[in-house]
Structure 1
């Protein structure tokens, strides 16, 4: 049996936040990159993509996209990968950020984003969530999944109660029965399944699989060359990860403290490839934005095409 407290502590730890506190550094010899747990940092280290880089990469780690986007919006970090839903949520809230690169999963992968319930729960599908209390992080891909699932079941905003919590607090709430379900992403999905929780809604049917490298406007202006170089290296790392799942998983385990089997499952389900930001991508993002607006979660109207930077 996996030690539950140790696993949750490993997943929830936010490393190097003190480095983020410097904020707004104009030093172009340093690129400050934010990484979600088991995300960009592990990928770049595993692939060796940063070998020979001519500038310093300063890493900061975050438990969820919301925290990373707050750091990006305050120019505490220069670059970070987030899902499409949290990016749109933050951008429409007025954050001075733009997407500088896009990634997308190349196939529909089971369980990478899911709504889970305890093993003993009577809930078996999305319709069974009516009247239930669901934990997720506000503005996250998990939040977006709940809304899409409600739409698919013919439900409205009042048919479930949302509890906006951090991933670690969400997991604890599910364990104690304070909530009935948890909408989350890898590696939290794999960790919850290892403890016996069940998937009742699989996000593969509701999300488009996009992730965006996001930068504050200040970094786009001052560090364009470093951003361009890092993104090119990241694209090569993504290609590498497709063919080296075991090696990628081993580094994930070392960097995150996850058990090897959970780290490998995360590596297998987190592989994306870089795609151009074109009219099709922007059109797909309109679906995300319209969903948040339909449920009253987003009220401002920033032009969606302005959310993407010119070629970096």
Structure 2
């Protein structure tokens, strides 16, 4: 065999190996590590019903994708884990990705849920002298830093024509914030469901404002940039399961309430309250309208000096390819 022919054969072999490697990279991952929070309804339904495990179960054990679940107290903690490679995928509210991007974290927006403006609120004790948002001037407001509640507070102050410096933000994780709120260490609490519903159900709070008219309170799904680039079709599969989970919750309310009551360790009436204010909608990749809305969140934090640099949200938005969207 001539040297030229051998070189040609070697080139064909190397090309085949490269294509094979690319195909493997684009296939289902060996493991999918999912971050979730108490209150991420759809992910919790998938976890409790084992639906992702069923979806990714291969014909042989070696072909299956192992699904691992990791719970976090709030979105900022979840995205920190995503950025350092401890998880591959997770869900947060609108603000955590803005803070993560401003800090140079390695992640991308991959999907979103329909807006849920009624599922978060600024609360005060039922007997508080605070009667309006304007009365928050000079007061201590508890919130998770870098969370959707943080942005809700920004917007609430804007409506009241107050500056950020007019209040004392007290940055606490949800459980610690509730404790501080109930013992009177703070004057108000900005929070999301199910924590909002749980304390509301106690009858000891008043709602100063919900997110409605202030923020769309979007839920976003995020992934590491490497995972999104290699496993786009897997993300589309996950979106389909999340959409089916939403339909399950809406169409099987009694069963869903029982499932979530057990999973969250909350009273049934709290879960019923949470689900009553959730609209139905599919989980989809990011579109132009959602991108514009999220850029406004980022701009608001930058203008107040709450993030160190301006960010362009579009720079970290995953765009599925035709191959990602094609059914396998």
Alignment TM-score > 0.5, same fold: yes
Is residue 122 of structure 2 the alignment partner of residue 104 of structure 1? Answer: no
Q: Distance in 2 between matches of 1:222 and 1:286?
A: 26
Q: Distance in 2 between matches of 1:255 and 1:239?
A: 18
Partner-residue secondary structure (3-state), 2:112 = strand
- Residue 238 (structure 2) aligns with: 230
How far is 1:276 from its partner? 4.4
How far is 1:72 from its partner? 0.9
- Which of these residues, 271, 275, 293, is aligned with residue 302 of structure 2? 293
Deviates more, 1:194-203 or 1:252-261: 194-203
Structure 1 gaps, min length 5: 1-26
- Residue 156 (structure 1) aligns with: 163
Q: CA RMSD in A?
A: 2.0
- Residue 5 (structure 2) aligns with: none
Q: Distance in 2 between matches of 1:226 and 1:135?
A: 38
Q: Distance in 1 between matches of 2:254 and 2:133?
A: 33
TM-score normalised by length of structure 1: 0.85
Partner-residue secondary structure (3-state), 1:213 = strand
Structural mapping, 1:30-179, within 5 Å: 30-39=31-40, 40-45=42-47, 49-50=51-52, 51-54=54-57, 55-105=65-115, 108-109=117-118, 112-179=119-186
CA contact (8 A) 1:46 1:248 kept: no
Q: Distance in 2 between matches of 1:275 and 1:261?
A: 30
Is residue 211 of structure 2 the alignment partner of residue 203 of structure 1? Answer: yes
Specify whether residues 302 and 38 from structure 1 end up closer, same or farther in structure 2 by C-alpha distance, changes over 3 A only.
Answer: closer
Is residue 270 of structure 2 the alignment partner of residue 262 of structure 1? Answer: yes
Is residue 288 of structure 2 the alignment partner of residue 279 of structure 1? Answer: yes
Q: Distance in 2 between matches of 1:44 and 1:244?
A: 14
Q: Distance in 2 between matches of 1:260 and 1:310?
A: 39
- Report how many residues are paired: 283
Deviates more, 1:199-208 or 1:138-147: 199-208
Specify whether residues 207 and 160 from structure 1 end up closer, same or farther in structure 2 by C-alpha distance, changes over 3 A only.
Answer: same
- Residue 7 (structure 2) aligns with: none
Q: Deviations over 1:15-68 (max 9, x none)?
A: xxxxxxxxxxxx922111011113243221466643343222111111211111
Q: Which has the higher contact order (CA 8 A, sep 6+)?
A: 1
How far is 1:82 from its partner? 0.8
CA contact (8 A) 1:249 1:266 kept: no
Q: Distance in 2 between matches of 1:303 and 1:86?
A: 15
- Residue 302 (structure 1) aligns with: 311
How far is 1:124 from its partner? 1.7
CA contact (8 A) 2:43 2:242 kept: no
Specify whether residues 32 and 48 from structure 1 end up closer, same or farther in structure 2 by C-alpha distance, changes over 3 A only.
Answer: closer
Q: Determine which structure has more spread, i.e. the larger CA radius of gyration.
A: 2
Q: Distance in 1 between matches of 2:258 and 2:128?
A: 33
Partner-residue secondary structure (3-state), 1:204 = coil
Q: Deviations over 1:177-218 (max 9, x none)?
A: 111011000000011112312111211121113211100113
Q: Distance in 1 between matches of 2:260 and 2:223?
A: 24
Specify whether residues 108 and 134 from structure 1 end up closer, same or farther in structure 2 by C-alpha distance, changes over 3 A only.
Answer: closer
Q: Distance in 1 between matches of 2:257 and 2:98?
A: 29
How far is 1:271 from its partner? 4.5
